[in-house]
């Protein structure tokens, strides 16, 4: 397991803040080993470990296959439905949405290899990520990757806790399946917009792993 580069500052700053808070509390209470300070140290260490775990990148055997669409993130499948895409395709698409809890791995990966045709950031609200309106009203970043005749839109969506979306792709770039697409800091959601008629390999409420689980067959 490694720690994602997006977490370096957050982990260091959190450690400094918690250390200063605990030292100040011990000094103000004039007790180094009373139950209050001990409890605060334990809680602070647990919080710091959670922050570290949030930015983890576990070692995995990733799925690479041009005929498959792999999951762009860890989480639970919360939506599988046909929708009309207003942003890019301007037609009907099959939407698969994956909800990422704060406990999930939050690195996002390319679901297919191909060329980036579109990359656009949108400001927006911070509705809870499982709210249907979050796909069109929340802060989000959309990219379209095309492999052959199969363009796919990947939408990173901020949730109630997520305040920063990071996306590494730009138009004209050639990307490889399972390479890093971006990162979302704290609970969020990722939508996949697939061609209508695509064979879906997952079901509602199924738990998937980014870069490993197969979402669909092209």
Whole-structure pTM over 0.85, yes or no? no
- Residue 163 confidence (pLDDT): 62
- CA 78, 164, 108, 210 torsion-angle sign: negative
How far apart are alpha carbons 112 and 97 in whole angstroms? Answer: 16
- Residue 68 confidence (pLDDT): 96
- Residue 154 confidence (pLDDT): 97
Q: Does domain 68-217 have CATH number 2.70.70?
A: yes
Token pair belonging to 88: 């890019």
- Residue 114 confidence (pLDDT): 96
How far apart are alpha carbons 96 and 193 in whole angstroms? Answer: 7
Token pair belonging to 162: 């997520």
pLDDT in tens, the chain (218 residues): 788 777 788 889 999 999 998 888 877 776 766 777 888 888 989 988 888 887 888 889 999 999 999 999 999 999 999 999 999 999 999 999 999 888 888 899 999 999 999 999 998 665 555 555 556 667 889 999 999 888 999 999 986 665 678 899 999 999 999 999 999 876 688 999 999 999 999 999 999 999 999 999 98
> For this structure, is 213 an active site residue?
no
Residue 71 CB neighbour total at 10 angstroms: 28
- Residue 136 confidence (pLDDT): 60
At 102 the three-state DSSP class reads coil
According to DSSP, the residues that pair with 119 across neighbouring strands are 143
- Residue 161 confidence (pLDDT): 61
- Residue 206 confidence (pLDDT): 97
Catalytic residue among 71, 134, 188, 213: 188
DSSP single-letter state for residue 30 = T
Token pair belonging to 103: 């406990």
């Amino acid at each position: 397991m490694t720690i994602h580069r997006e977490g370096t500052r957050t982990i260091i700053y959190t450690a400094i803040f918690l250390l200063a808070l605990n030292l100040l509390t011990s000094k103000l209470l004039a007790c180094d080993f009373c139950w209050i300070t001990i409890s605060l140290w334990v809680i602070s260490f647990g919080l710091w470990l959670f922050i570290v775990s949030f930015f983890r990148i576990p070692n995995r055997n990733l799925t690479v296959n041009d005929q498959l669409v792999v999951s762009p993130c860890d989480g639970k499948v919360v939506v599988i439905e046909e929708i009309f895409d207003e942003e890019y395709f301007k037609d009907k698409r099959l939407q698969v949405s994956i909800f990422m809890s704060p406990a999930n791995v939050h690195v996002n990966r390319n679901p297919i290899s191909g060329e980036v045709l579109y990359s656009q950031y949108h400001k927006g609200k911070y509705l809870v990520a499982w709210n249907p309106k979050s796909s069109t009203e929340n802060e989000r970043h959309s990219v379209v990757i095309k492999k052959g005749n199969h363009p796919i839109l990947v939408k990173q969506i901020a949730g109630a806790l997520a305040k920063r979306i990071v996306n590494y792709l730009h138009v004209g770039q050639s990307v490889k399946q399972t390479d890093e697409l971006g990162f979302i800091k704290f609970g969020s959601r990722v939508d996949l917009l697939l061609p209508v008629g695509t064979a879906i390999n997952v079901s509602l409420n199924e738990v998937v792993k980014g870069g490993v689980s197969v979402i669909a067959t092209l």
